[in-house]
Amino acid sequence: SHAGLGSAHGKAILIGEHAVVYGAPAIVLPLLDLQAAASVREAKTATITSDLYTGPISQAPAMMAPIIRAGQAAAERVDLRPDRLEVIVRSTIPYERGLGSSAAVSAAIVRAVANAGGVRLSPAETHALVQEAEQIAHGTSSGLDGHAVQSLTPLRFQAGKPTTVKVAERMTFVIADTGTSGSTSSAVNGVRMLRTVLPEAVERMTRDLTEVVEDSADALAVGDAPRLGRNMNAAHRHLARIGVSSPALDALVAVALEAGAYGAKLTGSGLGGCVLALAPSLEVAGDLAAAMTSVGATRVWTTSLVPTTPT
Ligand code: MEV
């Protein structure tokens, strides 16, 4: 009988969330220490085992619908019967924190199913199948997460197309969790509503963030961390102005800056979720983590972006 394994990792948006939905570019970082893994094998019935739910797929709660769809879409693609698959998922990516949990779990399942079917899917094909799940999870989405969770390098993403971002110097980031979930679909819908009543506010945000993203790509390419930090601060202000920050996010940003961050901002859709702060050094990263924990961060992670090798 057929069996297969698959995995994918988390992501954090460096800059450009929300604006990317309206055609602006965004830059996204891989979080290689946060992993989702799936194993599948043929069975008599369809079941799923996960941290959120274990049992027959027919009785799974609505929140599982996206990843179930990912498994079905992949099974159809590789000629396995979706009603005869046992799926086991494990993930260290926190759920609904803007760190790519849903896309990574979906990508892990898609890869495991393809592996079980003996089919090698290209990243683009995997992405298309993950998008079927993301549509259910988040409504209309830019498609950014599905690419980010499969890429080992940071990506610049615009109008559906990912390209690799050049990184000249190691950059160390601290991610802090507010402990509250940020629903991507409600944040994205909120911005869409704002756009119907105040189109110029969303146009301005998109224009301003486009400039910030371009300057950030440049800062990464030349290794200018202070400049990248200033851009992150500007991005947080633009996002706060359209209403997707929260008191908890603002508090984490403020304390990170006091503790010596070059810059700090919400990451992901906002209204909850996480803050991303840029540390001048590994030592200061520890200070940032401690400072953010002292004002209520429930979890912190440190991640380093390593220089891309010149081609
Ligand atoms: C969510 O990870 C990022 C948003 O820009 C939505 C999207 O890109 O689809 C808020």
Residue-wise pLDDT tens digits, 231-246: 999 999 999 999 999 9
Tokens 């005869």 locate to 84
Q: Which residue CA neighbors atom 10 of ligand 1 most closely?
A: 269
Classified by CATH at the fold level, domain 166-305 comes out as Alpha-Beta Plaits (3.30.70)
Q: Is 184 in the pocket of ligand 1 (CB under 6 A)?
A: yes
- Expressed in angstroms and rounded, the spacing between residue 185 Cα and the centre of ligand 1 is 9
Q: Is 144 in the pocket of ligand 1 (CB under 6 A)?
A: yes
Q: What is the CATH number of domain 3-162?
A: 3.30.230.10
| The amino acid at 184 | T
Give pLDDT, residue 184. 83
Tell me: pLDDT of 260 over 70.
yes
* Axis-axis angle for helices 184-197, 199-222 (nearest 10): 120
Tell me: pLDDT of 108 over 60.
yes
Structure tokens, 274? 């996480």
Q: Is 229 in the pocket of ligand 1 (CB under 6 A)?
A: no
Burial 102-119 (b: 16+ CB within 10 A, else e): bbbbbbbbbbbbbbbbee
Predicted TM-score (pTM) of this structure:
0.94
Ranges of each domain in the chain: 3-162, 166-305
| The amino acid at 175 | I
DSSP 27: E
Interacting residues of 121 by C-beta distance below 8 A, sequence separation 6+: 77, 110, 111, 114, 129
Q: Is 190 in the pocket of ligand 1 (CB under 6 A)?
A: no
Q: 9-23, 74-88, 178-192, 234-248: lowest mean pLDDT where?
A: 178-192
3-state SS class at 150: coil
The radius of gyration of the chain from alpha carbons, rounded to an integer in Å, stands at: 19
Ligand 1: which atom is nearest the Cα of residue 138? 9
- Expressed in angstroms and rounded, the spacing between residue 188 Cα and the centre of ligand 1 is 7
Q: How far is CA 215 from CA 20, 54, 208, 235, 308, in A?
A: 16, 46, 11, 11, 18
Report which of 242, 233, 182 is spatially closest to residue 207, judged by C-alpha positions: 242
